[in-house]
Amino acid sequence: MALEDAKKQIDHAFTREDLKGSSFENVFAGATSFLRRKYTKDLRGVDIAVTGVPFDQAVTNRTGTRLGPRAIREASALQPCDAPYGWGYDVLSDFAIADYGDLAFDYAKVSEFPATLQAHIAGILEAGAATVTLGGDHSITLPILRAYAAKHGPVSVIQFDAHTDTWADDDMSRIDHGTFLYKAVKEGLVDPKRSVQIGIRTDNPDTMGFNIFDARQVHRDGPEAIAEKARAIVGDHPVYLTFDIDALDPAFAPGTGTPVWGGLTSHQAAVMLRQLAGIRLVGGDVVEVSPPFDTTGATAIAAAHVATEILCLWGWTRRG
């Protein structure tokens, strides 16, 4: 059946009639929506909207993450023929997932960007869908958290990252990918005591009360143990998961703006994401993919898998 479908499916992002099911379109052809989901601005009946935020004007080092959403979508074309591995259910068939396209914004009016993004996410949430966002640099997570906190109250955060992103900055008009979580705590969007940071390997003395499992601890204790500790910390609180691709070691994800050695392996990340099943996930993002430095495409491939795992985590407690 798959072979017969592959012979006639093309540009499934536009030609598919429903929001559920696999896609057998040739990997190397056609329009590259995320996982070949239908491109649509109609959110009626949509469970999860995947949206891109091509913004990188807040980085401290190498730019290029504005091209991340496009690269992640292209990389995801490898995946939609089969159910995501190891989950025991098919999130693509059980839930209505749409590609909502990218955020529109005026690149020359950077100061207006956070409010524009917050309104974009809030509109999706008001329509009854959750979001999985493809970045973009990590500053985009702050406006997203504002939209989620407005709906759910202060959320727990599970952050995979090489950096804590809690560097102090009380100037709320500044847009900086290294201070977004400091501001999120100051604004009361996040409960740090019920939140977890995984993979950290840069020094920042002000932890803001977050529970930190640094990269060395993951290597020492193993990904299963770390995931179980993270699950216990967040409990049944609503959780937002943000995955900075630089959580992975540069050997696995070279295409990012601030790479740091000694990071997580792709295997460790995959195990932890799977072992988090059961958390009360309300949304998530994957950020900091910079295609100009991703010569083999490995970083975008990793990010596409992370975004798919976030979909699976969201669906796990809602399946059936």
Give binding residues for Mn(2+) as ranges.
138, 161, 163, 165, 244, 246
Positive or negative: CA dihedral 65, 70, 71, 77: positive
Report CA Rg, the chain. 18
The set of residues, in sequence order, having a beta carbon less than 8 Å from that of 170 and lying 6+ positions away, is 186
Our CA dihedral for 151, 154, 157, 163, rounded to 10 degrees, sits at 120
Strand partners, 281: 239
Q: 144, 118 in Cβ contact below 8 A?
A: yes
Q: Which residues are annotated as a binding site?
A: 138, 161, 163, 165, 244, 246
CA atoms within 13 A on the CB side of 46: 27
Closest CA to 227 of 160, 155, 311: 160
DSSP state of 264: B
